[in-house]
Structure 1
Amino acid sequence: MSKTITYVITYENGRWVSRCPTGETEGVGVASSLSQMERDLAEIHAWAWAEDTPGVEFVFDLPEDVAVVVAEYHREKKLAEAHTKRTAELAVKAAKALTSHWSEPDTARVMGLSKQRVHQLKVSA
């Protein structure tokens, strides 16, 4: 898969509609579900570009009130993922630091984790 073709997706008259604004594909795709739309477009790509099939990417053109909520969700999700990653890094650091002074059971109690989890963190790379 060499590249990805982006489609603008809207919901019109009870159906999902795809349009390719860059002109790599012509016409309009229509499907009752996004899963079906993605399958249909992937099938068209496989047929049209058998040697080097491009991927499918959706950009949603949503009503403003919905777009605002979806954008906020994506921002918060990204922040949560960053916090989760940082929390995991700090858990390893804390487990290693604490077990250099105290037992795994005592470290587990301090960290609010199970003894098994503290051991996993302590021996992780």
Structure 2
Amino acid sequence: MSKMITYVVTYEHGRWVSRCPGGEVDGVGVASSLSQLERDLAGIHAWAWPEEPPGVEFVFDLPAEAAEVVAEYSREKELAEAHTKRAAELAVKAAKVLTSHWSEPDTARVMGLSKQRVHQLKVSA
């Protein structure tokens, strides 16, 4: 896929509706599920651009209450992913430091991990 085509998606009268504000695709897509909508649009792309069909990207135009909770969820998910990444980095560092003083089983007990996991952390790059 060389590029993405962005669609603004809304939920109207029991159906998902897509519009292409960039003008690459005319008309409106309608489907009962987002999966079906994405498949339909991918099919249109494959037909319109057989050599290199662009991908499908959705931007959701949600009611204010839903948009607010989705935005909050997205922020928290991003923070959680950052914390998970940092915790993984610290696990490697801790395993290397602790095993330089103690055995892998003792390090595992201190860290609350299995000794196999401590070994994996210790030998990781």
- Which position in structure 2 is the counterpart of 1:29? 29
Q: Aligned-pair distance for 1:80? A: 0.5
Runs of 5+ in structure 1 lacking a partner?
A: none
Instruction: Give the ranges of 4+ consecutive aligned residues of structure 1 lying more than 6 Å apart after TM superposition.
Output: none
1:6 aligned counterpart, secondary structure: strand
Q: Secondary structure at the match of 2:30?
A: strand
Residue equivalent to 1:54: 54
**1:64-101 C-alpha deviation (Å, 9 max, x unpaired):** 00000000000000110010011000000000000000
Find the aligned partners of 1:53 and 1:17 in 2 and give their Cα distance: 21
Q: CA–CA distance in 2 between the matches of 1:109 and 1:120?
A: 15
TM-score (norm 2): 0.99
Deviations 1:31-60 (A, max 9, x none): 000000000000000000001211100000
In 2, the alpha carbon distance for the partners of 1:4 and 1:31 equals 20
Aligned to 1:82: 82
Give the paired residue count: 125
1:37-116 to structure 2, matched below 5 A, reads 37-116=37-116
TM-score, structure 1 as length reference: 0.99
Give me the whole-angstrom Cα distance separating, in 2, the residues matched to 1:3 and 1:96: 43
User: Residues of 1 paired with 2:118 and 2:62: CA distance?
Assistant: 45
3-state secondary structure, aligned to 2:83: helix
| Partner secondary structure for residue 113 of structure 1 | coil
Q: Could you tell me which runs of 5 or more consecutive residues in structure 2 were left unpaired when the two chains were aligned.
A: none
Q: Give the whole-Å Cα distance in 1 for the aligned partners of 2:60 and 2:99.
A: 49
Give distance in 2, aligned partners of 1:75 and 1:120: 31
* Deviation (angstroms), 1:2: 1.2
Give secondary structure in 2 for the equivalent of 1:53.
coil
SS of 2:11's equivalent?
strand
